[in-house]
Amino acid sequence: MIVSQQKPWEEILGYLDGEDGIFILGCNGCAQASGSGGPTQVAEMQQKLEGAGKEVTGTMVIDFLCQKALVKSRLRARTEQVAAADSILVMTCGLGVQAVAASVNKVCHPSCDTVNMGGSRGEWPSDERCMECGECLLEYTGGICPLTACTKSLTNGACGGAREGKCELDPEKDCGWELIYQRLKQKDQLGQLRKFIPPKSWDKMMPNPKTMSTALWALEKTG
């Protein structure tokens, strides 16, 4: 199970600056169990966004947002609501946000941080990986994790060593930052590359006290 917790409200609202219509996507898997992106949190988020003057064009909760085929097929029924939105607010872990951003040609904002499980890493038999860094950066990278897609885990752009799109440290691997550049270009978000991402606070990898006091957390730690 991938444990996630909601980002601060001010941070989420900042992501949506200049946007009016938002489609909210929740996850009935780990995010529902974490209390960060299930039906209850999606309904609460809709209320808060509408209270902040945003138009919520639609909401949907899908069983596993980390499954791209499932995301694509379920969202087909909401094509008009998604098209009417400026962006999608994705309420789930880093894997789910990456999968949605890869599946839908729309700006996708992460509303959660994925936190560490004490050594395990969020993995899925697809391409996406999450290091559970506790301070999700997918907002700035078009939904591609810079920590796992870049061999050096660089957070502020390419190292300059890539050759023909391949990483200088692993010629078998695509350069993560070239993938990020292409994704941002595809979503008309190249301006994100001008934002400096400050050094990460790795202590955020650990869950907040509220999450650590839950029975779910106790079960995960003893499992």
Residues in touch with ligand SF4 (CB under 6 A): 94, 113-114, 130-133, 136-138, 145, 147-148, 150-152, 154, 158-159, 161-162, 167-169, 175-177
Considering beta carbons, is residue 90 or 132 the nearer one to ligand SF4? 132
Q: What single-letter DSSP state applies at residue 166?
A: B
The nearest distance, CB 4 to ligand SF4, in angstroms, is 8
Instruction: Confirm if 42 and 89 have CB atoms less than 8 A apart.
Output: no
The angle formed by the CA atoms of residues 157, 162 and 165, to the nearest 5 degrees, is 100
Which amino acid, one-letter code, is at 82? V
The nearest distance, CB 136 to ligand SF4, in angstroms, is 3
The nearest distance, CB 193 to ligand SF4, in angstroms, is 13
Considering beta carbons, is residue 80 or 123 the nearer one to ligand SF4? 123
Is 118 buried (19+), middle (13-18) or exposed (0-12) by CB count in 10 A?
exposed
Torsion 105-62-66-49 (CA) sign: positive
Considering beta carbons, is residue 137 or 216 the nearer one to ligand SF4? 137
Backbone angles phi, psi at 115, to 5 degrees: -110, 160
Considering beta carbons, is residue 54 or 68 the nearer one to ligand SF4? 68
Using CB atoms, what's the residue nearest to ligand SF4? 94
The nearest distance, CB 50 to ligand SF4, in angstroms, is 27
Q: What single-letter DSSP state applies at residue 158?
A: -
The nearest distance, CB 47 to ligand SF4, in angstroms, is 26
